[in-house]
Amino acid sequence: MSSTLALKIILVPALIGGITLAGRRWGQGFAGWLGSFPIVAGPVLFILALENGNAFGAGAARAALAGVAPSMVFYVVYTRLAHRARWPAVVAASLLAWFAIAAALFTAALPLSLAAVLTAAALFAAPRLMPIVSSVDAQRPHPLELPTRMLTGAVVTLFSSELGRLGGSSLSGYAALFPSIGLVVAAFNHARSSAEAAILFLRGMTRGMWSVAAFCLALSFVLEQFSLVVAFALSTLLALVTHAAFRPRG
């Protein structure tokens, strides 16, 4: 098992567990914002650069920046269909949309400037295309819900990592931004609670994804200019500032 895969299998289920508990305590919108910080993409990109060199890591970061847009499409499609269909059909349609957009962008191989513009446009447009919900009724959790969410997260992680294993920095970057957490948490919220709970969570994730974009953009520039540790420290600092700026209000 590669270091990247092992890290993702540890981080993603753990983060899903933490986000689930945060959602129960502070609401789904806050949980979504919390879960969108690059706590998975960051370590994955770090190990890719550590194992393959800073140039490879910079290429993966550029691809990950472009990979924000397919995630936004996934979130928008899910929220638009959440009231119209049951969760398996919504998940299938959202994944199909993600694969279509990701494949088109991967084939296009956009330069960094266009990827940054596309990402900003997607982040700006996504919340405006999502339905607005105000609150959800709390539901008593099933005892097996939390471990099931975490196990599902591990399975989804194995699938997304298989995409990156096929080779190349670009494919690895898109795999790092596969919407594992959004997929698992939104689907469980939808199935166990309501469409509104899924929508609130994904709206929160959309708000927080600005920090992912800032992290990947910064890393694309500084990783070939500085040492690995310094580049990731600078990019993480920018992500923290950006994430705080987009925190939920009220």
110 belongs to a structural domain = yes
Which of the two residues, 176 and 113, has the higher pLDDT score? 113
57 belongs to a structural domain = yes
3-state helix/strand/coil string of the chain: CCHHHHHHHHHHHHHHHHHHHHHHHHCHHHHHHHHCCCCCHHHHHHHHHHHHCHHHHHHHHHHHHHCHHHHHHHHHHHHHHCCCCCHHHHHHHHHHHHHHHHHHHHHHCCCHHHHHHHHHHHHHHHHHHCCCCCCCCCCCCCCCHHHHHHHHHHHHHHHHHHHHHCCCHHHHHHHHCCCHHHHHHHHHHHHHCCHHHHHHHHHHHHHHHHHHHHHHHHHHHHCCCCCHHHHHHHHHHHHHHHHHHCCCCC
pLDDT of 146 over the 70 cut: no
11 belongs to a structural domain = yes
**Stretch 64-92: mean pLDDT:** 96
Tens digits of per-residue pLDDT, 159-205? 656 665 666 778 888 888 888 888 988 998 898 888 999 999 999 99
pLDDT of 137 over the 60 cut: no
Q: Please give the residue range of the domain that contains residue 224.
A: 3-245
At residue 167, the pLDDT reads 62
At residue 143, the pLDDT reads 58
10 belongs to a structural domain = yes
Whole-structure pTM value = 0.87
Tens digits of per-residue pLDDT, 31-63? 888 888 888 788 888 888 888 889 988 999 999
Give the chain's domain count. 1
At residue 90, the pLDDT reads 97
Q: What is the mean pLDDT of the chain?
A: 86
250 belongs to a structural domain = no
**Stretch 155-161: mean pLDDT:** 64
